[in-house]
Amino acid sequence: MHDVTIIGGGPTGMMLASELRLHDVSVLVFERDAEPTRLVRSLGLHARSIEILDQRGLLERFLEHGTAYPGVGRFAGIDKPQPADLDTAHGYILGIPQPITDRLLAERAAELGADIRRGIEAVAFTQEEDGVTIELADGTRVRSRWMVGCDGGRSLVRRALGVGFPGEAATTEWLLGEIEITAPADEVAAISDEVRKTHRGFGIGPTPDGHFRAVVPAASVSEDRTVPPALDEFRSQIRAFAGTDFGAHSPISLTRFTDATRLADRYRVGRVFLAGDAAHVHPPLGGQGLNLGIQDAFNLGWKLAAEIRGWAASGLLDTYFAERHPVAADVLTLTRAQSVLIDAAPGPQAVRRLFAELMDFDDVNRFLAERLASIGIRYDLGSNNPLVGRRLRDMPLAEGRLYERMRDGRWLLLDQTSGLSVDGWPRIIHRIADVGEHLGQEAVLLRPDGHVAWVGEDQVGLERALEEWIRPGR
């Protein structure tokens, strides 16, 4: 029997598998598709996801296959300078198509020992006191101590659990494709710029590998979004907005997406969790979806591993929902607002002009930039200290740098007092005394996901903080 079975082998599932394997948790991943998809549903990674890759030693792999674009994103496509001195060492967007992200994360999970099985569909499951029994499409059954549904917006796991998924149904659909074209690049750019003056939902431009990527509103919302658009439909919609289809041909991928916006009202039922699109769906404006799923996995992984390995304090697993549900709700607010601001109607365009003026104030621009990049997140850990609950940015230490010391997913105590001890938790927490001059605090306790659990300088306070997360005596 495996410790954890993950249903869905996309980026959320593979990130979670890797996090669990860091703690020697046995992981089985079932992915329905026999081969990795070529569909490009996501185009890049934001600053917080880039930080996560750096914290686990994966960033160099991704940089080799992506393109770093200055800035952390444009709210509703409003072009403003990036605020100075953002709280990150990675103030850029990493442009990288989702199939490459999927492949790199899957390779990492396999390297760490996750059992990944493709072309296998889970069709049902039942929970018992000590585990979950999963039924596969071929009739076989598999037992697991825990299960996580990372199986997308139409999640079988969520529906089988009876978890509510309130929100709004789709009212708008877009078509997204990677294609070849015959029109000259300068002509494409000129026409696209002109169309986007009145239709922000349209765009076409070159990809790093020499193709073109185009997005265009669909004629209507399709009954079944899983059926990809035909090339003729795609070309017809491009002509409807641009007056030409640019000689589009030889599609590499074609897909649909909508503005459906929903958020699960629970992330856990018994021994089964939800993560990624299984827990939340929203318009792709701002490129939040894949990033949100990776960050869900990063939050859940160490907590579920702690429960399995026996060192989790009571209630630790409940903090996954308490911390990540408000973050997803915030992302839904952000994407709903941007959906309004790209509407070509006079009212939304008036609001857009007002927003553009407000963003000339640095505080407003910074606030929106931090939300797009997910670097302004602060989990409510019950402390008045503004640093507690936030993730700590990368910084130089006396030797190396902080994120290099986080590769194994352990807790870190950054201690400049020379008087603190973590001897009671030798396998769980690593104490670093060679902090250097950039910390700005006497001592900081970091969770495995890089968020600050405690700031102080006394042993009693440290031990109280540890006992909130770690079972005493471990």
- Binned at pLDDT 50, 70 and 90, residue 196 comes out as confident
CA distance 26 to 5: 9
- CA 389 vs. chain centroid, Å, equals 18
Cβ–Cβ under 8 Å, residues 387 and 444: yes
pLDDT of residue 436 exceeding 60, the answer is yes
pLDDT of residue 385 exceeding 80, the answer is yes
Per-residue pLDDT tens digits for 288-305: 889 999 999 999 999 999
- Binned at pLDDT 50, 70 and 90, residue 127 comes out as very high
List, in sequence order, every residue forming a beta bridge with 427; answer none if it has no partner: none
Cβ–Cβ under 8 Å, residues 117 and 102: no
Torsion (CA) 19, 25, 26, 30 in degrees, nearest 10? -30
Which whole number is the average pLDDT over 415-438? 85
Domains of the chain, start order: 2-167+262-373 (3.50.50.60), 173-258 (3.30.70.2450), 402-469 (3.40.30.120)
pTM of the model: 0.94
Cβ–Cβ under 8 Å, residues 366 and 84: no
pLDDT of residue 74 exceeding 90, the answer is no
Beta strands in 16-171 (DSSP E): 27-31, 44-45, 67-70, 92-95, 115-118, 122-128, 131-136, 141-149, 167-168
**Which tokens hold the place of 24?**
């020697």
Which whole number is the average pLDDT over 193-204? 87
pLDDT at 57: 97
pLDDT of residue 62 exceeding 70, the answer is yes
- Binned at pLDDT 50, 70 and 90, residue 440 comes out as confident
